[in-house]
Amino acid sequence: MADGPQAAAPARGRTRGGPLGAALGLGGELLITLGVLLVLFVAWQLVWTDVVADAEMDQEVASLEAAFDDPAATAVPGLKDVKFGQAFAIVRIPQFGLKYARPVYEGTTRDVLMHGIGHYASTAMPGELGNFAVAGHRTTYGKPFNRIDDLRRGDVVIVETRQTWFVYRVSSTEVVAPSRADVILPVPEQPGAEPAEALLTMTSCHPEFSSRERYVVHATLATTYPHAEDLPADLLTRRG
């Protein structure tokens, strides 16, 4: 008689939980898999895109520098002949480090901003009367404007082109709603006003890791130098 119950016990163990237990087990495995995939996606988004974009930007900057120094080079168009998606300038911001240099492309679509700083095509070009307005990522894809909120009044932003070094100095900063397109008008926030100065406006998402608002830096052209000349050393010094 003792053998009967002992023989039946393994069968009960094999069926414990039934279909519900099996479903819960499968659901747990799926959640773990989804969690791992989510972690991998975040790592790709926050880390790997920076690695790839940084390498691309360094290469593009090197190509632009070589073209700027070669009078016979035709790879870089004149400022009035730039086409969508083309790189035509380099932005240097000493406050972000002496090695900071990022290419500027024509256009501000997602594809363009994956490779560097984008120029709002409807705005002025460097040095022109009006507003040379650009955008850049705060996070991911090389995050060229990651430290945009470090800039203070008087800080230098240098825009390098084939012919000219344009030296802008920060005049103000503000945080606005994403819908505030008036910050990139020829005279920021003054619809219909005629520009009397050459301005620069830099925009990026705010706060970091969010697109809830826009951080905006305004600057005014302070001076220019022929590209054939070296910039004064004091312009390349960080504040503080």
Residue 15: its pLDDT value, please?
Answer: 47
Burial 108-123 (b: 16+ CB within 10 A, else e): beeebbbbbbbbbeeb
Question: Which of 10-24, 37-51, 61-75 shows the lowest per-residue confidence on average (mean pLDDT)?
Answer: 10-24
pLDDT tier at 49, thresholds 50, 70, 90: confident
Domains of the chain, earliest start first: 47-236 (2.40.260.10)
Q: What is the mean pLDDT of residues 34-62?
A: 73
Q: What is the mean pLDDT of residues 124-131?
A: 98
**Residue of 137, 138, 162, 206 marked catalytic:** 137
Confirm if 123 and 130 have CB atoms less than 8 A apart: yes
Residue 41: its pLDDT value, please?
Answer: 52
Residue 144: its pLDDT value, please?
Answer: 97
For residues 16, 21, 26, 29, the Cα torsion angle rounded to the nearest 10 degrees is -90
Which residue would you say has higher pLDDT here, 190 or 25? 190
CA 146 to CA 95: how far, in whole Å? 12
Q: Per the structure block, which two tokens stand in for 108? A: 């501000």
Cβ–Cβ contacts within 10 Å for residue 17, how many?
A: 11
**Residue of 92, 102, 206, 214 marked catalytic:** 214
pLDDT tier at 24, thresholds 50, 70, 90: low
Which residue would you say has higher pLDDT here, 15 or 131? 131
**Residue of 92, 119, 205, 206 marked catalytic:** 205
Q: What is the mean pLDDT of residues 87-112?
A: 97
- Active site includes 227? no
| CA separation, residue 146 to residues 137, 204, 214 (Å) | 7, 8, 12
- Active site includes 102? no
